[in-house]
Structure 1
Amino acid sequence: MTEPEQGKSPDNPWPVRAVATRVAKYIDRLGTVWVEGQIAQMNIRPTVVFIMLRDPAADMSLSVICPRDLVVNAPVRLTEGVQVIMHGKPNFHTGRGTFSLRVTEIRAVGIGELLERILRLRKLLEAEGLFDARLKRPIPFLPNTVGLITGRASAAERDVVSVAQSRWPAVQFAIRNTAVQGPTTVAQVVEALRDLDADPDVDVIVLARGGGDVDALLPFSDETLCRAIAACTTPVVSAIGHEPDSPLCDLVADVRAATPTDAAKRIVPDAAAEQALVSDLRRRSAQALRNWVRREQHVVGQLHSRPVLAQPLAALTARADEVHRAVTAARRDVTRLIATETDRIEHVSARLATLGPAATLTRGYAVVQAVSASGETSVLRSTDDAPAGTRLRVRVADGAVTAMSEGLDEAH
């Protein structure tokens, strides 16, 4: 059985020195590189300077070692928060197992170059629609809780809280204190944004910082921060710097406030002003109602003054005689018609009485009917219809009698 390759199994491991040496050789093959970042920490020793170089857009840092003269004789004063570009060679220290960048050249990023980068980023974000006014979310009229991201014990925090509470004493704040300058600003502000945006009680988020120079406000033009603001579902108010300052986060935010004080005025209404407005609206509505009542009273008065409403029965009274004459004439015509028809009916009735069978019977005539065995009767019209033994019914003027036929009377 062959022995496994060294370093590939627990039975044949590499010693620490072998691993460290191989890592150092691999890193050494990388050659020199240019690196850009912000100075987060700097420790100046008699001969060398130890620098912690931080990425402003991510929570990552890199240890840098450079000669002391390189920092002392730099064209600009190097301090914490300064944006720099360094040229150096990656190095792995096998004794301590640490990685660092040994720098041979340091260049401070000039303001002109930073502004040019911000301009390019502005065009990029604008092309993506992050500045579109149609995407801006409205601030609620009276938020339950206001999220505030600002520096600890800063003037911006005092301005926002004091002004907002003076305008609306019941306002509640959820304050997140973060760095507002330096290499850690972006990461802390983005984390605070996500924390407040996830809170269902927070209705609006205020990002506040006092004024400062271009370098101090650089983190608020960072692409990561701008995209984090655009990703928030809660409306964001940007109050960075003063009126002349305009970092990119102002353009991405839903509302830009000129100052932290202006932000406080925008997020909550003024209780005294709202009370005055309510009082003014009540006064105006009461006056409008009184004016309407007066107009309607005037209209009703005009209608009431018209003759048809002032004396509603006058038209009927004027027509009373005419109606009375019409009623009298109608009654007279109806009475005449009834009398005429009554006479005509009496004449017809008399004629019917004269021509009817009852009058004939009164004169002594009779109506003879033959009665069959079944009880049916029929008028006797011939002697042949009444042979002997036929039962007869004889109707006279005052009634009827029955008789029995004896046959044909030969005497006649």
Structure 2
Amino acid sequence: MSGPDQRSSLPERAADTTAEQPWPVRLLSMKIADYVEKMSVLWVEGQVVQLTRRPGQRTAYLTLRDPDVDMSLSVAIQTNALDAMAAPLAQGVRVVLQAKPVFWTQRGSLMLDARQIRPVGVGELLARVEHLKRTLASEGLFDAERKRPLPFLPRTVGLICGRAGAAEKDVVENARRRWPTVRFAIREVAVQGSSAVQEVMAALDELDRIEDIDVIVIARGGGSVEDLLPFSNEALVRAVAAARTPVVSAIGHDVDTPLLDHVADWRASTPTDAGKAVVPDARAEQRGIRQSRDRARRALRSRVEGERRQLVAIRSRPVMAHPGAMIEARRQELEALTDRAHRRALATVHRAADQIGHLRAQVRSLSPQSTLERGYAVVQHRDGRVVSDQAEVAVDELLRIRVARGDFAARVVGLP
């Protein structure tokens, strides 16, 4: 049971609450309402995703969404403020409005009480896109070095496109016209309006996780600047930059250049061009194979003909026409060398024999035998000593006399 004493004992500040002394929901709602009430009137920008205006009522309701994240607020606005706009307010347009935040305690919800509303002009949107472009370029997201080459023949092509749009048909038909067996994993999403960014990012994340998808195409047909704004969204651009799979941008026509074109690994001017870029042309590849085969055949034939000509030229040489001629020439050379060696050996032997004869004659002329043959004799004592002095001989000594042919003994009978 609650009473005045219990209410007065509740903590005044949120930081003072405890499990034993919590705030009731009504008190928390009043505290939030008091805090929100102190906020000043402010200007806020967003995208109109829902507009409810009933005939006869002076208040209209719309939902204002942040174009970069999935977050929105309800807005109440007087119908006369809507009527003061130059053009009727439509869903999907960007606006700035002046509003006072209001917290409804009964429902526990925050909404905006709008006083003025203005559309964001195309020029201003383009200026913001240009500023974002410079920012992302300075971070290196558009650098050519980080772009990956497209696979030659992907196992599966991921395709993100609008529901029942011509872009899907252009991509698929042109790709299958070039390579009939190409496979597609198609995700149909909103490609304009308030949910486009979130749906495209979700489809990109899903396809990027599939292992056999080797390239992802994000395609959309042409449209106004406002229609193509989702593809210049910062969150989407960063998601494409972070994808592991190469991404092809095929947004609008050749003159349309959303930021997605700059960050994608390949920019296709149209969805038709994207269909041609993701797969090779089967007929061109077959033609290239035939041309390569013909070149290889001609090169091989030319090589064989050249080798055959060289073989004929070799066989026509005299040494090949008469193989024994080379052997005969070598045999004759060998015989001539053998004969010359034999003659040189004989000459050497003859010169040596002559030299030996001369030496023999010299030795013979200088030997004692030749002296003996001239009539001289060698006189020796009995012990073999040669007598060279008369004083060495004694009377009646028996001496040995050696002459040219033999020797004999002689006795000394007297000395002079």
Secondary structure, counterpart of 2:107 in structure 1:
coil
* Alignment partner, residue 18 of structure 1: 27
Secondary structure, counterpart of 1:161 in structure 2:
helix
- Deviation string 1:78-101 (CA, Å, 9 cap, x unpaired) is 111101111100011223332210
Determine the C-alpha separation between the residues in 2 that align with 1:202 and 1:5: 64
* Alignment partner, residue 268 of structure 1: 279
* Alignment partner, residue 303 of structure 2: 292
Determine the C-alpha separation between the residues in 1 that align with 2:94 and 2:244: 32
- Deviation string 1:36-82 (CA, Å, 9 cap, x unpaired) is 11111111123221111111110101101101122233123311110
Give the aligned residue type for 1:34: W
- Deviation string 1:186-212 (CA, Å, 9 cap, x unpaired) is 111112212221222211111111111
Secondary structure, counterpart of 1:282 in structure 2:
helix
Determine the C-alpha separation between the residues in 1 that align with 2:25 and 2:346: 144
Give the aligned residue type for 2:194: P
* Alignment partner, residue 368 of structure 1: none
- Identity, % of aligned positions: 48
* Alignment partner, residue 114 of structure 1: 125
* Alignment partner, residue 61 of structure 2: 50
Deviates more, 1:66-75 or 1:227-236: 66-75
Determine the C-alpha separation between the residues in 2 that align with 1:99 and 1:321: 121
* Alignment partner, residue 402 of structure 1: none
Give the aligned residue type for 1:20: S
Secondary structure, counterpart of 1:216 in structure 2:
helix
Secondary structure, counterpart of 2:261 in structure 1:
helix
Q: Give unmatched runs, 5+ long, in structure 1.
A: 345-412
- Deviation string 1:271-306 (CA, Å, 9 cap, x unpaired) is 122111111111121112212222233333334333
* Alignment partner, residue 47 of structure 2: 38
Give the TM-score taking structure 2 as reference length.
0.76
Secondary structure, counterpart of 1:147 in structure 2:
strand
Determine the C-alpha separation between the residues in 1 that align with 2:203 and 2:176: 22
Deviates more, 1:2-11 or 1:302-311: 2-11
Secondary structure, counterpart of 2:274 in structure 1:
helix
- Deviation string 1:173-226 (CA, Å, 9 cap, x unpaired) is 222221100111111111221222122221111111111110000010111111
1:91 equivalenced with 2:95 (yes/no): no
RMSD of aligned C-alpha atoms?
Answer: 2.9
- Structure 1 residues 325 and 217: alpha-carbon distance in aligned structure 2, compared to 1, 3 A threshold: closer
Determine the C-alpha separation between the residues in 1 that align with 2:332 and 2:86: 123
Secondary structure, counterpart of 1:269 in structure 2:
coil
- Structure 1 residues 50 and 306: alpha-carbon distance in aligned structure 2, compared to 1, 3 A threshold: same
How many residue pairs end up in the alignment?
A: 347
* Alignment partner, residue 180 of structure 2: 169
Please show how residues 215-364 of structure 1 align to structure 2 within 5 Å: 215-318=226-329, 320-321=331-332, 323-328=334-339, 330=341
Determine the C-alpha separation between the residues in 2 that align with 1:153 and 1:72: 35
Secondary structure, counterpart of 1:189 in structure 2:
helix
Determine the C-alpha separation between the residues in 1 that align with 2:144 and 2:269: 18
Determine the C-alpha separation between the residues in 2 that align with 1:322 and 1:25: 128
Give the aligned residue type for 2:53: I
Secondary structure, counterpart of 1:142 in structure 2:
coil
1:189 equivalenced with 2:200 (yes/no): yes
1:128 equivalenced with 2:139 (yes/no): yes
